[in-house]
Structure 1
Amino acid sequence: MKSKYIILALVALSTLAFGANADSAIYGKDLIPNILGYDQKGSLHLGYYFTLMQSTYFKPLFLGVLIGVPAAFLIHYLVIGPMVFSHDRKKIYVFTLFNRIVHAIAAIAFILLIPTGLIIMFGSTFGGGTFVTACREIHAISTLLFIISVFPMFFMWARWMFLHWDDIKWLMIVGGYLNKDKKPVPAGKFNAGQKTWFWLATLGGVVMILTGAAMYFQDFRLEILASNGISQIDFLRASALIHNALGLGVTALFFVHLYMSIFAIKGAIHSIITGYKEEEEVEILHSSYYKKLKEKKEI
């Protein structure tokens, strides 16, 4: 038993000596990698990359999103300012009651998931303990809300979210958000930015549910993994890497979604509450959709 602790102590000392960025050869030849399961025979050899990403890259990247994205939007708001549309014209019914309820559930889920996920990521900064553990449980419960909303949200909006030529044009002019002119922007019911957020939030969200469940429960065995030579530790490492990479994108685009709906377009958030958009807003920011509505005489 004593020899076990002596070996673990040597592992800790070696880790301190070489650091997180030690040469990958260390993980392939020495005793240390075999103890840690970094390069066991038949493994996916994810140990080195898991350690590197978790200890060196993910935290700075998340911190960059937390500081950089809001800073960019603050500059945009001060320099360009928000878009303001007339409220004197007709209102166009865009979102049904079902749309709004599902979106509200998803919104509550994201409002809980993202902060708690970040606290878990920076757990050591918050001192660990009860607070971080409580956030972990809130994160898990919030996932249930997201599960309830993500599938209805996918099926009710997916048909509007496929790539269209308008999306290329939209991207080329950044949706018209970099100037103060009210020129018609080529976009359907949803623009390229909203489509990107949709696919990441739904398909990416489902992957995050699965990888998050793997990390939360941990102590389980899937025969399909074992039969394909994938160890439990490899699966958990892969889950953590995928979960954090997707989480980085979700966090960034969630901030974009908030800024656009609350600040960049005055009153835009009311459409997902009441179901109605201002006619001028649709005419300018969703010009292709507006033309179709006019052709169908739905306005």
Structure 2
Amino acid sequence: MNISKTFLKGALGLLLLFGLNSQIALGKENAQKPVNFNYNTKIYGTHQIEAIKNWGINSPTSGVVSGSVMQMQGMNIGVLENGEKITGIRGIKGLGQIFTILQNKFFAPIFAGVIIVVILAFFGHYKIVGKKRFQHGKKFKVFSNYNILVHWGAAVPFMVICLTGLMMIFGDKLGGGYPIRLAKNIHFFATFVFILFGVLMFLMWLKPALFKLYDLGWFKMMGGYLSTSKTPVPAGKFNAGQKIWFWLATIGGFIMAGTGLIMHFFYGDINFLRLTAIIHNVLGFGIIAMLITHIYMALFAIEGAIESILDGNMGEEELAIMHGFYYQELTGGR
């Protein structure tokens, strides 16, 4: 009898031990696995950038960012854990779907399309219309040494930001790895250099970049770039096209810098980050297009135009034809 009781107790003990171990194992199996943000180190290598891919629907972090927890109802945002209804940007329904579609299917192809179309358009312009040529005898000082320093202080990091940004956009197509990770770091640090010189440039050229009524005439003539004739164009120190570029490069550049830093540091909830990424990319389309335009105009559209921002001087004939109102200011209306 005692032997039977001892055997029974032992058997029950083994069953309990086996059951407990089974529950522990089952619990471990069902426990939520930590999110691995570095699963695509081939391309980016750091969680800040790679985590962008987790901002879409059906992602492991689609409800938790910076400690803000939102309950997801299917693919739409519901209410906070305390029962309050989500309002503002956080409450925009469908933003996850929109961001996911744009990020996965449209952003990179649109950037590629913008680059190809703009380059082909200017290639056609160069072949059909060609560059304008002016006599460069007498010259006028139009840009001071300070103007030149500030311009290039902003322009160089700006072009670096655009180039490294495109490298990240097409990172998988470029093979990923160290070059893309390096591009991401350069992109980050170049942003601060641009902000510094960008503010100086904005303050320096704010007044001459304001639009005037005569700029409407520039638009009607398309700046005279569709003809080889030397018909005077209504323009001040900066023509209407240069003014558009100024505002896009400064205000647009500051918005790009701000949205980029927000994404880098994960500042905000999930929907705010999604909206920030959309703004960053859409604005990037226009900036890339206008940057290519600006480079083409300076290097190819007008012979010797780039020299004015290198040494500060511009030929009298070019000034009189392409910047008539400014030429009158310099010569006192003669």
- TM interval, shorter chain, is 0.7 to 0.9
After the TM superposition, which residues 48-87 of structure 1 pair with which residues of structure 2 at under 5 Å, given as runs?
Answer: 48-87=97-136
In the TM superposition, residue 245 of structure 1 has moved relative to its aligned partner by 1.1
Determine which of 256, 265, 284 is the counterpart of 1:247: 284
Q: What does the per-residue CA deviation read over 1:115-165, in whole Å, with 9 as the maximum and x for residues that have no partner? A: 110011112212333221111001011112201211010001011112211
In the TM superposition, residue 3 of structure 1 has moved relative to its aligned partner by 4.6
In the TM superposition, residue 56 of structure 1 has moved relative to its aligned partner by 2.3
Q: Which runs of 4+ in 1 moved over 3 A?
A: 1-6, 35-38
Q: Is the 8 A contact 1:86 1:278 kept in 2?
A: yes
Cα 1:49–1:92 shift into 2, 3 Å: same
Equivalent residue for 1:148?
196
Determine which of 294, 301, 313 is the counterpart of 1:276: 313
Secondary structure at 2:314 match in 1 = strand
Cα 1:4–1:86 shift into 2, 3 Å: farther
Determine which of 239, 242, 246 is the counterpart of 1:191: 239
Q: TM-score, normalised by structure 2?
A: 0.74
Q: Is the 8 A contact 1:39 1:47 kept in 2?
A: no
Equivalent residue for 1:181?
229
CA distance in 2, matches of 1:170, 1:120: 37
Q: 1:112 corresponds to which letter in structure 2?
A: V
More relative contact order, 1 or 2 (CA 8 Å, 6+ apart): 1
How many residues end up aligned between the 2 structures? 261
CA distance in 2, matches of 1:272, 1:36: 56
Q: What does the per-residue CA deviation read over 1:177-200, in whole Å, with 9 as the maximum and x for residues that have no partner? A: 001100100111101110000001
Equivalent residue for 1:205?
253
Secondary structure at 1:95 match in 2 = coil
In the TM superposition, residue 34 of structure 1 has moved relative to its aligned partner by 2.6
Q: Percent identity?
A: 42
Q: 1:174 corresponds to which letter in structure 2?
A: M
Cα 1:36–1:91 shift into 2, 3 Å: farther
Q: What does the per-residue CA deviation read over 1:242-265, in whole Å, with 9 as the maximum and x for residues that have no partner? A: 111111111100000000001101
Cα 1:34–1:283 shift into 2, 3 Å: same
Equivalent residue for 1:288?
325
Matched, 1:34 2:72: yes
In the TM superposition, residue 2 of structure 1 has moved relative to its aligned partner by 4.2
CA distance in 2, matches of 1:38, 1:135: 35
Q: 1:194 corresponds to which letter in structure 2?
A: Q
Equivalent residue for 2:16?
none
CA distance in 1, matches of 2:157, 2:108: 23
Matched, 1:106 2:143: no
**Structure 2 gap segments, 5+ residues each:** 1-27, 36-56, 58-70, 80-85
Q: TM-score, normalised by structure 1?
A: 0.82
* 48-57 or 144-153, which deviates more: 48-57
RMSD of aligned C-alpha atoms? 2.2
Cα 1:93–1:146 shift into 2, 3 Å: same
Equivalent residue for 1:162?
210
After the TM superposition, which residues 97-136 of structure 1 pair with which residues of structure 2 at under 5 Å, given as runs?
Answer: 97-136=145-184
